[in-house]
Structure 1
Amino acid sequence: MDVLTTDLLPEVWPGIFHQLIITNSQYWLDCARSDPAHFAQETPQALRAIGYGLVLPEAWAATRDLIRQLNDLMMRRGQGIEWESYLTQAIARSNQLSDPVEIEFRLYLGNLYRLQGRLPEARTLLQTGLEQCDQYGAREHYWALLNLLAMVMRLDGRQGEARHYCQQVLDATEATIIERAEAYNVKGLVAYDQREWDDALDQLASSLQLYQRLDDPFQIGRVLTNRGSVLQRKGYLDEAASSFTEAMSYFHRAGDQIETYKAVTNLGNVYLMKKDYDQAIRHYQQALPVFQNCHFLVTLAHIYNNLGMAHTRLENWETAKYYFSASIYAWQRTNDRYNLANVLDNLGDMLIKYGQTQSAYDILTQTLDILNQADDSPGIIRLRGVIQNRLTQIETMPSAE
């Protein structure tokens, strides 16, 4: 008599397990495409599917496209630290399979490294991606890579190279509207770095006009944030606050927590300039945990510096020193001599007010050495003059220590 059994031979299980991985990857890909709201609630399961799919060549097609669907969601939720390992594995797997999607994954990871202040790693990823565009004969992401490389160069203090890359994009007849819009945005930021406020506003206006044609709330919010920063530096504080508030509404629409809190930080900057220091501190403290959780080093460095300035104005000397020290530590992990020197100058100024003139003199002398190693720019020249004046001021003061 035959007996029905559910026992399977051991050699059958690997095939069943492989098929489950393929089916699961395809299920979550279909879910991402057909029901984005449900997909967004089931991120842990989708990540688990990617983890299994990355080790199985037969599941690569669905896994690859699932990563593409998930990237923006992970970044806008501030889950970049967790996401990094998946992108690193995806780049390795696509390279093994000679899949040109590697270029796109390099773009994703390069952007994450930029936000984390890991500029040398970002630059290497992006430059390799540009080379691979020629190797694969795939130009789809070439101009986006060039724009992001320009942003990295700008953060690295290499504004001339950044502007050159942006102009290459703008001169390219095959660049898309979104790529042209981003080139104008980065050029606006470079002009901001150079204290060329009117040019910065013109470039950002061109960027905003193009992004508005695409009705992209995330990108519109980014440019409005950058415009607010320029208006703030020009002293148009109410207009700056309005631009930041408008940006927040677009980020809410896009569902982007990270950029929303960048706008909160920028509103804190407006209060700082309005000398409402308690309100500025409240805004910074509201945003700080978000950026600490996702290790966005450059943003953290700016917030720490601004907290130091606010506490200096309130004569909370030790608290101010703590935040300036945190900012200095963050900038030392980048190659940004200007911003490092700027925070050291703020610390030196605070120590003068605190009566610790010898400590201030030592720090400012060190800061001048850092600036003398940097290429001249309007910002560098201005800051060098400020520090030289502070040193002269200390030399004419009686020692208070």
Structure 2
Amino acid sequence: MLEHGQWPQAEPVLLRTLAKAEKEGNHKEQTKTIILLAELCQNRGDLPESHGLLQQALGLAEQIGNRRLQGEIFSRIGSTYSLQSQYPQAIAHYQKALEIGEALENEQGLAATYANLSAVYSEQGDIDRAIEMHEKGLALFLKLGDEHRAAQFYNNLGNFYKEQGYLDQAVEMLHKGLKISERLSLDATSAALYGNLGNICGEPNQAIRMYKKSLEIMQRIGDQPGVARRWV
């Protein structure tokens, strides 16, 4: 249900699952269900409730000694802080998630946490640290063969390098992302990459060609808001 965005329908199911797990003393199932309830609360904008549930889940995960769940929960708590612009607390919790991920060699979790840290550093204006975190995440996604995420990371790195004035590196990252996105038919990512290449091009005719390619893709996939933005 959660995968399909059916949040209202999911809540009573999760509450029944939680009650059953509590009755049976199944702490692992309790923990996982509370995490999902916290996600539900976050989705509807109730961050304090989400934070409280995650703290409850963390206590259970520590009680049963499940380090993987602890790492996931620390990362989720970091996200609740980030959404409230409480960046030092977010970083502290993401760092705890990294420590656990490194100890468990959980590369998928590490890559996601690097992405979260990058977003926080970007919000703080620390683009150099954002780039560092994004490069670490990119290396892991490439190692894991997750080319979809890798293409998105190349796009983000291109934007970061552009923001720092490193235009050659920005173009290199965007072209690497485009090579993947076109091969995998990731149309939305390709449209974003072409648009960002247009933003960097110093030669007007070349920029127009990039924008037109971006527009063609967005019109084909029905991204009307994106089309509107491209014409602004």
Structure 2 partner of 1:369: 179
Structure 2 partner of 1:391: 197
> What secondary structure, in the 3-state scheme, does the structure 1 residue paired with 2:144 have?
coil
> What secondary structure, in the 3-state scheme, does the structure 2 residue paired with 1:315 have?
coil
The reply on whether 1:317 has 2:123 as its aligned counterpart is no
Q: What is the Cα deviation at residue 204 of structure 1? A: 6.8
The reply on whether 1:294 has 2:104 as its aligned counterpart is yes
5 Å matches for 1:321-400?
321-374=131-184, 382-395=188-201
- Cα distance, 1:280–1:212 mapped onto 2, change above 3 Å: same
Structure 1: distance between partners of 2:202 and 2:45? 32
The reply on whether 1:206 has 2:16 as its aligned counterpart is no
* Paired letter, 1:282: A
Structure 2 partner of 1:244: 54
Q: What is the Cα deviation at residue 247 of structure 1? A: 2.0
Identity %: 18
* Paired letter, 2:13: S
Q: What is the Cα deviation at residue 257 of structure 1? A: 3.2
- Cα distance, 1:283–1:339 mapped onto 2, change above 3 Å: same
* Conserved 8 A contact 1:201-1:227: no
> What secondary structure, in the 3-state scheme, does the structure 2 residue paired with 1:333 have?
helix
- Count of equivalent residues: 201
5 Å matches for 1:19-168?
none
Which has the greater radius of gyration?
1
* Conserved 8 A contact 1:309-1:346: no
* Paired letter, 2:102: Q
Q: What is the Cα deviation at residue 394 of structure 1? A: 2.1
Q: What is the Cα deviation at residue 233 of structure 1? A: 5.4
- Cα distance, 1:239–1:370 mapped onto 2, change above 3 Å: farther
- Which structure has greater helix proportion? 2
Structure 2: distance between partners of 1:273 and 1:397? 39
* Conserved 8 A contact 2:18-2:29: yes
Superposed CA deviations along residues 147-199 of structure 1, whole A, max 9, x for unmatched, are: xxxxxxxxxxxxxxxxxxxxxxxxxxxxxxxxxxxxxxxx63xx2xxxx43x2
The reply on whether 1:259 has 2:69 as its aligned counterpart is yes
Structure 2: distance between partners of 1:220 and 1:381? 39
- Cα distance, 1:218–1:325 mapped onto 2, change above 3 Å: same
- Cα distance, 1:202–1:388 mapped onto 2, change above 3 Å: farther
Structure 2: distance between partners of 1:359 and 1:232? 36
Coordinate RMSD, CA, aligned: 2.9
* Paired letter, 2:31: G
Q: What is the Cα deviation at residue 202 of structure 1? A: 3.7
Structure 2: distance between partners of 1:266 and 1:351? 28
Structure 2 partner of 1:281: 91
Is there any run of 5+ residues in structure 2 with no aligned partner, and where?
Answer: 205-232
- Cα distance, 1:236–1:342 mapped onto 2, change above 3 Å: farther
- Cα distance, 1:273–1:384 mapped onto 2, change above 3 Å: farther
TM-score normalised according to structure 2 size: 0.72
Superposed CA deviations along residues 330-388 of structure 1, whole A, max 9, x for unmatched, are: 1112232332233223322221221223322221222133223336xxxx555444334
Structure 1: distance between partners of 2:121 and 2:156? 12
Q: What is the Cα deviation at residue 211 of structure 1? A: 4.7
Structure 2: distance between partners of 1:315 and 1:387? 22
Q: What is the Cα deviation at residue 296 of structure 1? A: 0.5
Q: What is the Cα deviation at residue 300 of structure 1? A: 0.5
- Cα distance, 1:266–1:353 mapped onto 2, change above 3 Å: same
* Conserved 8 A contact 1:204-1:223: no
* Paired letter, 2:72: K
Q: What is the Cα deviation at residue 396 of structure 1? A: 6.2
Structure 2 partner of 1:268: 78
